Amino acid sequence: MTATPLLSLRGVSHRYRQSGRDVQALEGVSLDVRDGEFLVLVGASGCGKSTLLRLIAGLMPPTTGEIDRQPRIDERGGIGMVFQRPVLMPWRSVLRNVLVPTEIVSKDDAKQAALDLLARTGLSEFEKAYPHQLSGGMQQRVAICRALLTDPPLLLMDEPFGALDAITRERLNLLLQQIWADTRKTVVLVTHNIEEAVLLADRIVVMSPRPGRIVEVIDNDLPRPRGVHSYQDPGFAELGVHLRSLIVGADTEVSHA
């Protein structure tokens, strides 16, 4: 863990214009993403956490500041990404959706790798189905398989389970933890769900809106593997309350008598 970080941001700010006004989406963000860690960005909407993820992905440049990436994530296929919606190609079968990245980044035995991933995520029977024939949770699992196919060192997830029902969400949280434990990838996940952050993260980056900035970075030492039993852990509740007070605000509970 003492090695050079996989990615590091120094004094990163991002501004964009919206209806004639400058919006400061991010201000002075400095952060290292360590190799192999599960990093969660959490905050209320408008805190710039999705913007931060897009900057990390290289989908846009920061207005000011620097982002250093290790060369291996700068290669084609070096970053996997999962969005809030599955963002699949509706005209392709599940298997061919998963195979998309290897049509751009060559890979040996891509088909076998895709089938293995589908098996691990419980989608073996659906390789020939079209996305619209699957539930939202299953579609999102397909998106995760697609993101993992090139075996990227870095996996970025932008509220990947935000559109799912609570039960499906918890199941996919545990599946993701399992995949992360097996593959030892570096994961950066954006969420506004506090339980999700506590359940999954090694480190939690709490952000505040207007302008988006980092409020606190918290180490999460809860024992792994975490699961349903973790909710009983006093540390789980404690961390959750701490995050809540940072994000929701400590004053809300006394505002109305």
Out of 76, 128, 184, 229, name the contact with another protein by CB under 8 A: 76
Q: What is the DSSP letter of 66?
A: E
Measured between alpha carbons, how far is 214 from 68 in angstroms, rounded to an integer? 18
Stretch that binds another protein, among 87-95, 176-184, 185-193, 211-219 (CB under 8 A): 87-95
Interface with another protein includes 237 (CB under 8 A)? no
Q: Answer yes or no: are the C-beta atoms of 194 and 247 closer than 8 Å.
A: yes
Give residue 29's identity as a one-letter amino acid code. V
Indicate the SS3 state at residue 40: strand
Task: Determine the straight-line distance between the first and last CA of the chain, rounded to whole angstroms.
Answer: 48
Compose the 3-42 pattern: x for residues touching another protein by CB under 8 A, - for all others.
Answer: ----------------------------------------
Measured between alpha carbons, how far is 59 from 62 in angstroms, rounded to an integer? 10
Residue with Cβ nearer another protein (111 or 171): 111
Residue 9 is encoded by which pair of tokens? 């941001």
Compose the 147-186 pattern: x for residues touching another protein by CB under 8 A, - for all others.
Answer: ----------------------------------------
Interface with another protein includes 110 (CB under 8 A)? no
- What are the C-alpha distances in Å from 49 to residues 29, 157, 245, 251? 11, 11, 18, 23
Give residue 143's identity as a one-letter amino acid code. A
Give residue 110's identity as a one-letter amino acid code. A
Stretch that binds another protein, among 5-13, 74-82, 166-174, 197-205 (CB under 8 A): 74-82
Give residue 108's identity as a one-letter amino acid code. D
Interface with another protein includes 1 (CB under 8 A)? no
Out of 44, 67, 100, 175, name the contact with another protein by CB under 8 A: 100
Measured between alpha carbons, how far is 172 from 118 in angstroms, rounded to an integer? 14
Interface with another protein includes 58 (CB under 8 A)? yes
Measured between alpha carbons, how far is 97 from 161 in angstroms, rounded to an integer? 19
Q: How far is the CB of 54 from another protein (least distance, A)?
A: 8
Out of 1, 132, 221, 251, name the contact with another protein by CB under 8 A: 132
Stretch that binds another protein, among 43-51, 128-136, 174-182, 193-201 (CB under 8 A): 128-136
Binding site for another protein (CB under 8 A): 54, 57-59, 76-77, 79, 81, 83, 85, 87, 89-92, 100-101, 103-105, 130, 132-133
